[in-house]
Amino acid sequence: MALDKIEILLEKYFEATTTVAEEEQLRDYFSQDSVAPHLEQYTPMFTYFSKAKDERFTKQVPLKPRVSYHKWISIAAVAVMAFGIYFGNDYREQREAEFAYQETKKALSLLAQNLERGTEKVAYLNEFEQAKQKIYNNN
């Protein structure tokens, strides 16, 4: 490339007005052997940048195999639900039975009370009957 063009590019380069492509041209120019003597002072800059780009990351990255949480969460949810339904049912049945028992007990005790009251009344009737018998006997 013409030397004057390189000089112009260099000037633009330090004002940061060169494009990426123009900077590529500069790097190319300074990577070859026949750099103009008065520009040689810039060579280390451009060769360094090219060299720096060759550095590589060689370390291994230990990636833990990622369990997909959603899958396990849904499995857990299903398990909890099944458990709940199974034992929940038992529990509900037990409660229902207990309730029925209590109701029956209440009903029975009510019946017993009324029966008692009934027999009391019947006792009055007895009194009446006795009185009647007395009267009949007297006659």
Partner 1 sequence: MVHATTEQPIMTQSEFLNVVMPFKDKLYRLSKRLLISSEEAEDATQEVLMKLWSKNSNIANYKNVEAFAMTMTKNFCLDRLKSKQSSNLKLVHSNYEDGNTSLQKQMEARDSISWVEKIMEELPEQQKLVLQLRDVEEYDFKEIADLLEMQPTAVRVALSRARKTVREKLMQKHSYGIG
Residues near partner 1 (CB under 8 A) are 13-17, 20, 23-24, 41-45, 47-49, 51-53, 55-57, 59, 61-66, 68, 70, 73-74
Could you tell me the smallest distance in angstroms from the CB atom of residue 79 to partner 1? 16
Query: How many whole angstroms separate alpha carbon 100 and alpha carbon 47?
Result: 94
Q: Name 23's Cβ contacts closer than 8 Å, sequence gap at least 6.
A: 13
Q: Cα 122 vs. chain centroid, distance in angstroms?
A: 72
Could you tell me the smallest distance in angstroms from the CB atom of residue 38 to partner 1? 13
Of 14 and 124, the one with the shorter C-beta distance to partner 1 is 14
Could you tell me the smallest distance in angstroms from the CB atom of residue 1 to partner 1? 19
Of 54 and 120, the one with the shorter C-beta distance to partner 1 is 54
Of 66 and 139, the one with the shorter C-beta distance to partner 1 is 66
Three-class SS of residue 106?
helix
Could you tell me the smallest distance in angstroms from the CB atom of residue 19 to partner 1? 8
Nearest Cα neighbor of 52 from 27, 34, 15 is 27
Of 55 and 120, the one with the shorter C-beta distance to partner 1 is 55
Query: How many whole angstroms separate alpha carbon 89 and alpha carbon 91?
Result: 5
Nearest Cα neighbor of 94 from 31, 30, 102 is 102
